[in-house]
Amino acid sequence: KRKINFWMKNVSKKMEITVSEAEKRTGRNAMNMQETYTAYLIETRAVESQNEGQCSPVDSLWRRYSEFELLRNYLLVTYPHIVVPPLPEKRADFVWHKLSADNMDPDFVERRRIGLENFLLRVASHPVLCQDKIFYSFLTQEGGWKEMVNETGFQLKADSRLKALNATFRVKNPDKRFTELKHYSDELQSVISHLLRVRARVADRLYGVYKVHGNYGRVFSEWSAIEKEMGDGLQSAGHHMDVYAASIDDILEEEEHYADQLKEYLFYAEALRAVCRKHELMQYDLEMAAQDLTSKKQQCEELATGTMRTFSLKGMTSKLFGQETPEQREAKIKILEEQIQEGEEQLKSKNLEGRDFVKSAWADIERFKEQKNRDLKEALISYAVMQISMCKKGIQVWTNAKECFSKM
Amino acid sequence: MYFLIFFSMPFPIFFSLLAAPRPHNPPAHPPQRGTPLGARRKRAPGPPRGHTRVPSPPFPSLPFPSPPEPSRAEPCRGQVARAAAAARGRAAQGRSRSASSAAASASSAAAWQRGGGGQAPAVATQSRAEPSRAEPGRASSGRRPPAPVAMSGAAPGAPKPLPSSGPKSLREMPHPLATSSSEEMGPALSPSPDLLLPRGIADKDLSLPNGTPVDTSSPASSSSLLNRLQLDDDLDGETRDLFVTVDDPKKHVCTMETYITYRVTTKTTRAEFDLPEYSVRRRYQDFDWLRNKLEESQPTHLIPPLPEKFVVKGVVDRFSEEFVETRRKALDKFLKRITDHPVLSFNEHFNVFLTAKDLNAYKKQGMALLSKMGESVKYVTGGYKLRSRPLEFAAIGEYLDTFSLKLGTIDRIAQRIIKEQLEYLVELREYGPVYSTWGGLEVELSEPLEGVSACIGNCCTALEELSEDMTEDFLPVLREYILYSESMKNVLKRRDQVQAEYEAKLEAVALKKEDRPKVPTDVEKCQDRVECFNADLKADMERWQNNKRQDFRQLLMGMADKNIQYYEKCLTAWESIIPLLQDKPETK
């Protein structure tokens, strides 16, 4: 179990965080129907900086997956410029045949427990996110946390999907860097998905190869029964074939860990994309506001000078149904001027907002890139190490078998 | 024939010929029919002179295979019947043992170790079944081309099969290459000085196991002669006198057909061959013809199998390199097994096969030659019903049944593994390039990802090689042994027939209740046949068992080797990219 100390700035103390257990529960859901779910035990402990050995009391509480999701959604909305760490997959995906796609499967639950712990550690190690009070309460406050989150009203701040989609297609001056980044995150998602799919098939086939060798064990044993001098050698070689066949289970279990590391970055790519989308949205918003301001200014000008440079319904109707009185026109101009002023302020603040967003987003993106490169390198190294270990085991087994054969 | 010597020789003389007192066990098996030389091919007319004919008792039960004693070559004791049969004095050609093991295992060892390219020299090593336990230091692999005979003593302490010292002094032993019709004890003939000594513990001739005659011209002291005789299995082919190789396949395109011929090269010092070297071209048909002829002319012996005759056109390409090479190896092994056989290697058809320029002409004379050679050994299966197979042969039959069953299972497993490996390979081939694609997206991770991609590519290549090797080298040998078992079962059936005929005739005579002084000749002939057959078969079985053990030892070790090599290649690939992955990029 990984226990990492985190400096939680807002509470000014170091904390150890683990997700130590998983438990099946039954309860009633929102529709008052019985359901089974898994609850995870989060344990936290404040660590006195100097004495690692000193044991403070461990606080713990149980959370289920949906609460983790709620936390993450809150963070996504509240920190749109941050690449928010992803959760482990909701449903088992990219499975090869031996793995169960059942959410209740103990192996899946175990891997999810590790994934959830990883999520918490990622958040706690993020310079910005770790300071969030809701996050802190998630770790420490059992009751009433859900209500607390909902009270923040973050759902209202969430951008609608439709709006986001709209923005994607209609932004006129997208930031080139964000466009590239979005493209990268799409490609990354695609390539990692492909990799995970093929890896699952590779695992399947490799499993088959190893397991069929187990048949040698049986037939050598049977054959040895009718042989005299050859018998011993065959029998013991058969045993090694059994060992060989059995060894694949551990090998592939370890490889799942590698797959999980890749999956984290598959989901991270989604988070990256979310930041790009947010920028698009803001940009779109900005452009719309600017456009709106321009048109209002124009309207004002037209009213003031009495010229109609652009076609407007009002202009048509006034032509058809008679001009407005100068008082009416004055009133309109005044309203417009107010709106223009408002608009200009808004535009200014939006611009500022936009620049701030870009700045902080890019800072986090840079941080993310470093983290990604580090983590993936580590993952590749550990994958290579796994392969080396597998090769060595193979050499060992076949060398043993060869020795048995030599004694035939 | 050992029995003859044994029984007629005074014990003191007998023992003085031995280097050390040792328990005497009758030799491995009595001499076989089908003697190597033309003259000796004549059947013994009757019981040897001076021997009272002992009616053969029903074959006692024997455990089979023979108990693993060091002197494996010895038949079961107390086989008076066999003694009588042996006494008929058929010149044996060496011990029934492991003759073909050498060549067979040599060539298969070569196939495994050299990746199938080129044939190992047809070195014969009379590897011994049991004594190898007693002589752990001896390398049975690593066959070398014929070297000068190291006539030093064999590994001490291992009880060896008895050299054929007999009742007569060595000088009196008829030379195996004598052209007189002396199947029985004839006057000693001076051997040609040029000839190598036969090794072997065959009846009255001194021949080393591979058929090389023992030089009895010089007054050999008993110990040095004994030393030489003891060497049998130890010599790495130094005293072999016949080497056959199959290589150089060539395609011939004619108007009627297209076919492949193989070059068959023979090197020999045997007198039966006019020249010391021959090189002829033969096609599969010719091998098939040879095998049929051998079965006809040596029905009591186990004839090695040929690779399958028919291949499904369209599924297998008869002219592909892999197919031709696999077939060539099988044909080579076929000939080597015959070469190693003390009886079959002297077969006239075999001789012609190796030497004749125009084999077709000879084939046509077939019928004429047959009668000339006096092969009246047609075992006409008269449809007699055998009441029961003697236990030892029943045991052989059962063994063969289970054996071929197990081999069949192993064949299926091996094929399944290859199939799974190829499917695994298909996925791997897609897997590797994805890393490369990913590398294209990245900057800092570009090299590590490319490295992983290349690494997986190397593993793919290694796997491909493994599967190919298993297909080309492993499966054919398995199939060969399955075919072997089948043909052996047929020989067993023939034996049953012969015995049935004898028993039926014996019964007929018994029923007549006539007062006859002796058993009628034709019944005697039947008995002869039965005994010969049994003796030959048992001898061949023993040889076969030993060869089989050697062959499978090599085969399975080879399989393990190939897998080890595969993993080693993969290991190298992965280890080599670790430094690449750990490399810190230049700070930008």
Flag whether residue B423 sits within 8 Å of chain A, measured between CB atoms: yes
Asked whether B201 and B213 are in contact (CB, 8 A), the reply is no
DSSP secondary-structure letter at B189?
-
- What per-residue confidence (pLDDT) applies to B517? 59
Per-residue model confidence (pLDDT) at position B465: 95
Q: Amino acid identity of B150?
A: A
The CB density around residue B28, as the number of other CB atoms within 10 Å, is: 26
The sign of the CA dihedral A212, A217, A220, A225 is negative
The strand order across the sheet containing A13-28 reads A4-8, A13-28, A34-47, A59-64
Contact B444/A at CB under 8 A: yes
B416 contact A CB<8A: yes
Joined together, the tokens standing for residue A43 give: 């344990």
Assess contact for A310 and A302: CB atoms under 8 A. yes
- Number of other residues whose CB lies within 10 A of the CB of residue B469: 21
Neighboring chain A residues of B403 at a CB cutoff of 8 Å:
223, 226
Q: What sign results for the dihedral spanned by CA atoms B509, B515, B516, B517?
A: positive
Across the A/B interface, how many CB contacts are shorter than 8 Å? 140
Please list the ranges in chain A whose pLDDT falls under 50: 1-3
* Assigned token pair, B99: 């003759």
Chain A within 8 Å of B568 (Cβ-Cβ)?
yes
* DSSP letter (8 states) at residue B529: H
What Cα–Cα distance (Å) separates residue B393 from each residue in B79, B538, B541? 15, 9, 10
Give the other-Cβ count within 10 Å of A321's Cβ: 8
pLDDT at B198: 41
Alpha helices in B41-79 (DSSP H): none
The model's pTM is 0.70
Closest CA to A148 of A70, A46, A35: A70
**Record: contact A391-B571, CB cut-off 8 A:** yes
**Residue B275, number of CB atoms within 10 A of its CB:** 9
Distance of CA B484 to the CA centre of its chain: 11
Are the Cβ atoms of A184 and B570 closer than 8 angstroms?
Answer: no
SS3 for B208-239 is ECCCCECCCCCCCCHHHHHHHHHCHHHCCCCC
* Long-range residue pairs from B418-421, CB within 8 A, at least 24 positions apart, any chain: B418/B467, B418/B470, B418/B471, B418/B475, B420/A205, B420/A208, B420/A209, B420/A212, B421/A209, B421/B463, B421/B466, B421/B467
* Contact yes or no for A187 and B441 at CB 8 A: yes
Q: Which two tokens stand for residue A283?
A: 């940009």
Q: How far apart are CA A232 and CA A403, in angstroms?
A: 12
Q: Which residues of A touch B140 (CB under 8 A)?
A: none
> What is the per-residue burial (b if ≥16 Cβ within 10 Å, else e) of B53-79?
eeebeebeebebbbeeebbbbbbbeeb
Q: Do A230 and B438 touch (CB under 8 A)?
A: no
The number of angstroms, rounded, from the C-alpha of B39 to the middle of its chain's C-alpha atoms is 25
Q: Chain A: residue nearest B418 by CA?
A: A209
Q: For residue A237, what are the contacts with CB-CB under 8 A and spacing of at least 6?
A: A220, A401, A404, A405, B556
**What value does the CA radius of gyration of chain A take, rounded to a whole number of Å?**
31
List C-alpha distances in Å: B209 to B127, B212, B350.
10, 7, 19
Long-range contacts of A291-298 (CB under 8 A, 24+ apart): A292/A343, A293/A340, A293/A343, A293/A344, A293/A347, A296/A336, A296/A339, A296/A340, A296/A343, A297/A340
Which position has the token pair 């053969």? B56
**Distance in angstroms (rounded) separating the CA atoms of residues B300 and B530:** 10
Task: Give the residue from chain A lying closest to B417, CA to CA.
Answer: A209
Token couple for B144: 């070398």
**Does the distance separating the beta carbons of B452 and A380 come in below 8 Å?**
yes
Q: Which tokens hold the place of B351?
A: 């001789």
Residue positions counted in chain B: 588
Residues 58-117 of B with CB under 8 A from A: 65, 68
On whether the CB atoms of residues A44 and A140 are closer than 8 A, the answer is yes
In angstroms, the CA B155 to CA B131 distance is: 9
* Neighbouring C-beta atoms of residue B283, cutoff 10 Å: 17
Half-sphere exposure of A48 (CA within 13 A, CB side): 8
- The residues pairing with B251 across neighbouring beta strands, listed in sequence order, are B260
Residues in B closer than 8 angstroms to A366, CB to CB, are: none
- Retrieve residue B356's tokens: 């004749």
Chain A CB within 8 Å of residue B371 CB: no
Phi-psi region for residue B423, left (φ > 0), alpha (ψ -120 to 50) or beta?
alpha
Confirm if B217 and B191 have CB atoms less than 8 A apart: yes
Enumerate the residues of chain B whose CB falls inside 8 A of the CB of residue A222. Answer: 406
Q: Which helix (H) or strand (E) holds A236?
A: helix A229-305
| Cα dihedral: B460, B463, B464, B466 (round 10) | 160
| Whole-number Å distance between alpha carbons of A373 and B21 | 81
Is residue B65 within 8 Å of residue B542, measured between CB atoms?
yes
Give A252's contacts in chain B (Cβ within 8 Å): none
Instruction: Report yes or no: B403 at the A interface, CB cutoff 8 Å.
Output: yes
Residue of A221, A380, A408 to mutate, interface with B, max B Cβ within 10 Å: A380
Closest by Cα among B422, B457, B335, B341 to B35: B341
- Is B444–A373 a contact, with Cβ atoms under 8 angstroms apart? yes
**What is the CB neighbour count within 10 angstroms for residue B379?**
15
CA distances from B344 to A137, A200, A294, B37, B537 (A): 93, 57, 109, 11, 13
Which stretches of A105-228 are DSSP H helices?
A: 106-124, 133-140, 145-151, 154-157, 161-170, 176-224
Separation of alpha carbons B104 and A252, rounded Å: 41
Question: Going residue by residue through chain B (588 aa), what tens digit of pLDDT does each one get?
Answer: 444 444 444 444 444 444 444 444 444 444 444 344 334 333 334 444 444 444 444 433 333 333 333 333 333 333 344 444 444 434 334 333 333 444 434 444 344 344 333 333 333 333 333 333 333 333 333 334 433 433 333 344 444 433 344 344 444 444 444 444 434 443 444 444 444 434 433 344 444 445 444 444 444 444 444 444 444 444 445 578 899 999 999 988 888 888 899 999 999 998 888 889 999 999 999 999 999 999 888 888 999 989 887 666 566 677 788 888 889 999 999 999 999 999 999 999 999 999 988 888 887 776 555 544 444 445 555 667 777 888 888 999 999 999 999 999 999 999 999 999 999 999 999 999 999 999 999 999 999 999 999 999 999 999 999 999 999 889 989 988 999 999 999 999 888 888 888 888 888 877 776 666 566 778 888 888 888 889 999 999 999 999 999 999 999 999 999 999 999 999 999 999 999 888 765 544
B-chain residues near A219 (CB < 8 A): 406, 409-410, 413
Q: Is B9 on the interface with A (CB under 8 A)?
A: no
The continuous run of DSSP H or E covering A353 comes out as: helix A326-406
Looking at the complex, does the CB of residue B437 fall below 8 Å from at least one CB of chain A?
yes
The minimum CA-CA distance between B59 and chain A, rounded to whole Å, is 23
pLDDT given at position A142: 84
What is the token pair recorded at A400? Answer: 């043993």
Please report the pLDDT score of residue A368 as a whole number: 95
ipTM here? 0.88
φ/ψ region of A322 (left if φ > 0, alpha if ψ in -120 to 50, else beta) reads left
In the chain, the amino acid numbered B480 is E
Amino acid identity, position A172 = K
Of the partner residues A184, A205, A223, the one whose CB lies closest to the CB of residue B427: A205
* CB–CB contact B413 A208 (8 Å): no
**Residue A308's pLDDT is what?**
58
Among A188, A381, A387, beta carbon nearest to B582: A381
pLDDT digits (tens, 9 = 90+) for B527-586: 888 888 899 999 999 999 999 999 999 999 999 999 999 999 999 999 999 998 887 655
Chain B residues whose CB is inside 8 A of the A195 CB are 431, 434-435, 438
- Cis peptide bond N-terminal to B30, omega within 30: no
Is A385 close to B428, i.e. CB distance below 8 A?
no
- Please indicate whether, in this complex, the C-beta atoms of A209 and B417 are within 8 angstroms of each other: yes
* B contacts of A391 (beta carbons < 8 Å): 567-568, 570-571, 574
Minimum-distance CB partner of A206 among B424, B444, B556 = B424
The C-alpha atoms of residue B118 and residue B120 are separated, in whole angstroms, by 7
Say yes or no: B586 contacts chain A, CB-CB below 8 A. no
> CB of B295 within 8 Å of any CB in chain A?
no
Closest CA to B409 of B319, B482, B321: B482
